[in-house]
Structure 1
Amino acid sequence: MAKLKVTYFNLPAFGEPIRLLLAYSGVEFEDVLIDPNNWLNLKPKTPFGQLPLYEENGKIINQSVAIMRYLGKKYKLIGADDWEDLEIDAMAETFRDFIIKIAMYHYEPNDSAKDKLKEPLYKETIPFYLERFEKSAKENGGYLAAKKLTWVDFFFASMIDYISLMGKLNIMENNPNLKVVYDNVMNLPAIKKWYEKYPLSLEFSKVWLESTRKPGKE
């Protein structure tokens, strides 16, 4: 049996979809939770100064979306052909763009610059993306791509709490099809079992997100 390890902060952000993909697949792995206050000490010891890290039989790699894509392929959460895989990849990269835009606002250290970002983010950027994510979820029957459960749905569902905390918004309000995507992942027996056994602290996340604005932790 392969020895697997996921290293990330103790909050539901970029490490969470990796955890959920492994939990869904029924494989055992070591879940290494890092105190954000110790990150600067750990950072120089990582391959590229980034988390999450995925380790398999002693081999370590970074980049969350690449790890998700690898696990999706490994555990058959991909498309039926190359084009569907391309659709899944495109949706994942677009969703990552969306997260980064919200994170740039949240972590902006200059109050004046942050004020300038606020109106276009909430009046233009967020509605633009959510309208299109909702449309895709509707067209794909409650999934983001390929009309079936794939790894990008885990990415979306597991990041909602993090995005909502950063942006102080309700992603699924007035987006019923995105709510279906979320439910299709979170209601899976393996995922419900995972959260019963290993609940992450949203209150901890709130405190941490409010106390730091420094980007670059993903």
Structure 2
Amino acid sequence: MPKYKLIYFNLPVLGEPIKYLLHYGGIEFEDVQIKDRVNEWPKIKPTMPFGQVPVLEIDGKRYPQSLAICRYLAKQLNLIGKTDLDQLEIDGLADTISEFRKLFSLYYREPDPVIKAKKKESLENIEVPYFLDKFEEIVKNNNGYFHGGELSYVDFFFVGLVGAFNALLDKDVLANYTNLKSLKDKVQAIPAIQNYLKDAPKPIFYQITSMKYKVIYFETTGIAEVIRLILSYAKEPFVDERVIFEDWPERKKHAPFGHLPLFEIDGKQYHQSIAVSRYLANLYGLAGNNLIENMELDAIVDTVNDLRIEFTNCLWEKNVPERLKKKEIILKETVPYYFERFEKMLRENGGYFYKNRLTWADLFFVALIPYMNLAVSDNILKENNFLLEYVEKISKLPGLKEWMEKRPKTCCLATLVAERKDS
């Protein structure tokens, strides 16, 4: 009996149909899951035949390409039809499902939030109905299977990918497709598959899309960024939903008070960023230890917020001379006034805003720096090395560093500022 080893990420995507086939055939194999795509995968990638996974290792020799692997296993398990024409038809169906999957992959990997939102809309309204309508009809006409009224590897290939489709769109894509749903249930009810699914650890892919937290805000840092920073520092997963300006008029109708950000916990929405941040600070040990300490921290946060409001008033001032005047006052008077006092507080508290330790006041201030810089088209820290070093120190903390490196760079306010002749 050959010795099998399957190498893939801990995601229910291209490796899943292969696992279905291996379990269905009672084939023992070593399930090697790559869990760390940042540190672990770069070391493994050069050892793969074409720098990709999944890879099936058979007696020490590695074979790439998920469909090729599935076809190989299908032949071992008599799941590829009875004739060459059967195989041609089954392969054609599997290749079509693979093309369908690639549309999800293109959406998932899209780095630009605006383009990604459009791709998701297209998937949900055009591509998914188009393909699933056709798949539904095929299964209906083949007595509940994709081909010939009997089980073939294409059934495993499709059902193995459904979990990924559901996770990426955060819904049951088969909800309106009776025959496809019945096929999925039949395949997953096969005892060997049922046992695998029962004992298999829940993949991180599902954990990402079943997060209980969601931050809803525009494509910028702004007043929502402190929420994102607290969650990132706490290493608490969250959905970062960014609303484009074109969609806001319609979305605004459904916001509790017509404002963003919104914070969702298990689907229930909460508004007011400072209230949300205070709640999270208490939850994750970034608040005070008693009522007095919390009052003092609230005062610091509210003071930083007063400074933010000055920048906001400048940013949205339509009268150019008035905006220039506000900008000059901010840079020459407001910023020096506040920064002098902030620096004093930091020096007296061991490099933090309060009691020689990290609190949500620190994250609140650091979160707003990019927004305030943008509002006046300047680096407000350039003349204060102490505060600059403080911001850099906080930004390098575990959780925060990773978030700041990966957070979207697109900013909906950047175009507005760039188009202004006075900026």
TM-score of the two chains, using structure 2 as the length reference: 0.48
Match of 1:170 among 166, 169, 172: 172
1:5 lines up with 2:5 in the alignment = yes
Residue in structure 2 matched with residue 195 of structure 1 by the alignment: 197
Supply the distance in 1 between the matched residues of 2:67 and 2:28 (Cα, whole angstroms). 21
For residues 72-131 of structure 1, give each alpha carbon's deviation from its aligned partner in whole angstroms, at most 9, with x where no partner exists.
Answer: 011111111111111111111111111111221122101222233233322211110010
**Displacement after TM superposition at 1:208 (Å):** 5.0
**Displacement after TM superposition at 1:33 (Å):** 1.2
Supply the distance in 2 between the matched residues of 1:207 and 1:39 (Cα, whole angstroms). 20
Question: SS of the residue aligned with 1:174?
Answer: coil
Cα pair 1:165 1:206 within 8 Å, conserved: yes
Supply the distance in 1 between the matched residues of 2:117 and 2:198 (Cα, whole angstroms). 40
Match of 1:156 among 139, 155, 158: 158
**Aligned-partner residue type, residue 128 of structure 2:** I
Residue in structure 2 matched with residue 136 of structure 1 by the alignment: 138
**Aligned-partner residue type, residue 86 of structure 2:** E
**Aligned-partner residue type, residue 180 of structure 2:** L
Supply the distance in 2 between the matched residues of 1:158 and 1:172 (Cα, whole angstroms). 13
User: Structure 2 unaligned runs (5+)?
Assistant: 210-238, 241-405, 408-423
- CA 1:7–1:89: 2 relative to 1, 3 Å: same
Residue in structure 2 matched with residue 56 of structure 1 by the alignment: 58
Q: CA RMSD in A?
A: 1.9
Residue in structure 2 matched with residue 120 of structure 1 by the alignment: 122
**Aligned-partner residue type, residue 34 of structure 1:** I
- Larger relative contact order (Cα-Cα within 8 Å, sequence gap ≥ 6): 1
User: Structure 1 unaligned runs (5+)?
Assistant: 214-218
**Displacement after TM superposition at 1:40 (Å):** 2.0
**Displacement after TM superposition at 1:15 (Å):** 0.7
**Aligned-partner residue type, residue 42 of structure 1:** I
Pairs within 5 Å for 1:14-163: 14-37=14-37, 38-163=40-165
Supply the distance in 1 between the matched residues of 2:16 and 2:168 (Cα, whole angstroms). 16
Supply the distance in 2 between the matched residues of 1:115 and 1:184 (Cα, whole angstroms). 34
Supply the distance in 2 between the matched residues of 1:115 and 1:173 (Cα, whole angstroms). 22
For residues 183-207 of structure 1, give each alpha carbon's deviation from its aligned partner in whole angstroms, at most 9, with x where no partner exists.
Answer: 121011111122233x1314x2134
Supply the distance in 1 between the matched residues of 2:208 and 2:177 (Cα, whole angstroms). 28
**Aligned-partner residue type, residue 123 of structure 1:** N
Residue in structure 1 matched with residue 418 of structure 2 by the alignment: none
Higher mean C-alpha deviation, range 8-17 or range 108-117: 108-117
Identity of paired residues, percent? Answer: 40
**Displacement after TM superposition at 1:146 (Å):** 2.3
Supply the distance in 1 between the matched residues of 2:168 and 2:2 (Cα, whole angstroms). 35
**Aligned-partner residue type, residue 68 of structure 2:** A
**Aligned-partner residue type, residue 78 of structure 2:** K
**Displacement after TM superposition at 1:66 (Å):** 0.6
Higher mean C-alpha deviation, range 61-70 or range 108-117: 108-117
Q: Which one has the largest radius of gyration?
A: 2
**Aligned-partner residue type, residue 111 of structure 2:** P
Supply the distance in 1 between the matched residues of 2:178 and 2:48 (Cα, whole angstroms). 40
Query: Number of aligned pairs?
Result: 211
Cα pair 1:47 1:61 within 8 Å, conserved: yes
